[in-house]
Every structure is written in structure tokens, then in C-alpha cells.
Amino acid sequence: MTRRRAEGAGRLTRLALLTAIALTIFMVEAQLPAAPIPGVKLGLANIVTVYAVFVLGPRDALMILCARVFLGAVFSGQMSTLWYSAAGGLLSWCVLCLLRRVLTQKQLWLSSPVAGVFHNLGQLLAAAAMLGTWAVLAYLPYLVLAGMLAGLFTGLAAQALVGRMEKLRK
């Protein structure tokens, strides 16, 4: 594992760049047609989150995540979705931080499906709190499966990204 700690302007630039990439992916994905089950999507922007947690560390990843979630809600014009994304994003970030301790960087792809499941769980709990009913939990099994598949996809993409970036540094 080669990790170079960037400080000051270098770190700021890298954070800004990754936030911009995540936000762009997020906005492009928002243009795709919605899945038949409400709340289900690929969550491609999480490729950046997974990469950041494992390579840059939890703190930097959290900053990128918060900026992306907030700006994503602003740019998509749907502030009402902010709380769902925030709840899902923060819960999956917590899980990624835990998994970072037990998994190696070669197994990074495995952490993403778990994060995906918890992302959807967080969203669903936010919806349950917002609607004041547990009825929405009937969606949980669908969202667990969807989060797992979407997470597997973003995880493999993040794994490929780590591999490419290492080649780039050599």
C-alpha cells in the first residue's frame, strides 16, 4: 500500500477534484430513468466515496461526501432529498470506516456491497422517520438486494480505480 500524505494546497486540490468528479457522476446519473422500485439506483458517485475512505482515509472521505451530498441536492433542485442522501451517506461512511480496519486494500470491492446495504437502510430509516410510519420497512428486502448489487458494481469500479491510480504513481 503506497500512500502519500498530501498536505495544505495539495490536499485541498485533491479533495476539490474528487468532489467535482463525484458531483459530476451524481448529476449525470440523475438524468438516467428511475428504477421500478423507488429509491433504487446505482449510486455511481459512491465509487469516489469508497476510493476516498480506503486510500485517503475517513476524514477526507467524509468531507468529500458531505460536500457532494449537499451540492448534489442544490444542483438537482430537490432539497427534500437531502436528508435521505445524508442519512444513507453517513451510515455507509461509518460502515466503510469499520471495514477499512478489517479488509485489505485488495478486498476493497467487498466493502462496497455492505456499504450499499447500509446506505439504503439509512435512507429507509430517514423515510420512516419522515413519514412517521414503519410501513416503509416493507421495502427493506428489496433495498438490501438492490444495495448489494449496486454496491458490488461500484466496488469493482473503485477497485479498478485503485489499481489504475497505483500504476499512475509509478
Partner 1 sequence: MSRNGKIVLMLLLAAAGISLAVIAMQREEIADPVARISRDGVVLKEIPLDQVGRAYSFVLEDELGSNTILVERGRIRVSQADCPDQVCVDQGWISDGTAPIVCLPHKLVIEIVGGGEAFDAAAG
- Residues of the shown chain interacting with partner 1 in the complex, contacts defined by CB under 8 A: 34, 36-38, 78, 80, 84, 99, 102-104, 107, 110-111, 113-114, 117, 127, 130-133, 135-136, 138-142, 144-145, 148
Comparison of 67 and 162: residue with beta carbon closer to partner 1: 162
Comparing CB distances to partner 1, the nearer of 102 and 168 is 102
* C-beta of 90 vs 140, nearer to partner 1: 140
By the 10 Å C-beta count (0-12 exposed, 13-18 middle, 19+ buried), 168 is classed as exposed
In the bound complex, what is the minimum distance in angstroms from residue 11's beta carbon to partner 1?
Answer: 29
* Residue 76 · residue 24 · CB < 8 Å: no
* Beta carbon of residue 34, minimum distance to partner 1 (angstroms, whole number): 7
State which residue, 94 or 144, has the beta carbon closest to partner 1.
144
Instruction: Please name which of 115, 69, 124, 63 lies closest in space to residue 93, comparing C-alpha atoms.
Output: 115
Rounded distance between C-alpha atoms, residue 45 and residue 51, angstroms? 10
Q: State the nearest-atom distance from the C-beta of 71 to partner 1, in Å.
A: 20
Residue 8's Cα: distance from chain center in Å?
25
Q: How many CB atoms lie within 10 A of CB 30?
A: 16
